[in-house]
């Protein structure tokens, strides 16, 4: 996974509670502080629906 382009989510706060996301055919999501725990995988369409849903908050 070293070639995966991860970036800090714009929804992460500045208090150290951050997630990183790699977006493509699938969305990969991981905890910035505990990368060794792996990541979650979501279909890209589901990830976009999730993001659309939280825009209201």
The H or E element spanning position 8 is strand 7-8
What pTM value is reported for the model? 0.78
The structure tokens 């910035």 sit at: 32
Parallel, antiparallel or unpaired: strands 7-8 and 40-43? unpaired
How many residues in the chain? 57
Residue 9 has a pLDDT of: 80
* pLDDT of 19 above 70: yes
User: Residue 43's CB: how many other CB atoms inside 10 A?
Assistant: 11
HEC readout, 22-55: EECCEEEEEEHHHHHHCCEEEEHHHHHHHHHHHC
* pLDDT of 40 above 60: yes
């Amino acid at each position: 996974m070293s070639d995966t382009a991860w970036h800090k989510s714009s929804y992460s706060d500045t208090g150290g509670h951050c997630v990183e996301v790699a977006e493509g055919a699938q969305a990969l999501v991981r905890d910035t502080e505990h990368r060794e725990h792996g990541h979650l995988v979501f279909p890209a369409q589901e990830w976009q629906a999730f993001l659309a849903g939280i825009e209201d908050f």
